[in-house]
Amino acid sequence: MAKLNIVLHEPEIPANTGNIGRTCVATGTRLHLIEPLGFSLSEKALKRAGMDYWKDLDVTTYLDYEDFLQKNPGAKIYYATTKAPQTYVDVNYEEDCYIMFGKESAGIPEDILVNHQDTCVRIPMIGDIRSLNLSNSVAIVLYEALRQNHFDHMNLAGHLRNYEWD
């Protein structure tokens, strides 16, 4: 069974993290938060965005990037950044890989990115747009990874309440 991992490096906005947490619960994805966080995990905005799903979230926090690496040895990590030379659809996501996103104001630090060029990915955009919203970016890349893993363990068909599909 595919068990993907989303990593947020120093997230700053609780509503984004809450939305990402909800997406992780809906997809069976683990969430990893690298401190410092720009908010408290008990904040109302975080819980509101994650709604009643936050209690079901598989989430781990780390003191810093080094702590994350130490506790996840050998992890295959993809780094989502606007600075990447390839797009998020140009790589093959393993069923237990980690996809890291940086903080809203600055992204992943370049001293981390420079050593991982082959696993840096970007979402294409036009013009001088700085970036997409963090929670939207996570959803885009995560669903591509899930698609590549055939949406393993996910519901693939919906059902009407009062009617039958032909």
User: What is the length of the chain?
Assistant: 166
Q: Is 28 within any annotated ligand binding site?
A: no
Q: Is 34 within any annotated ligand binding site?
A: no
| b/e per residue 108-137 (b: at least 16 CB within 10 A) | beeebbeeeeebbbbbeeeeeeebeebbeb
Q: Is 18 within any annotated ligand binding site?
A: no
Per the annotation, binding residues for S-adenosyl-L-methionine are 102, 123, 131
Per the annotation, binding residues are 102, 123, 131
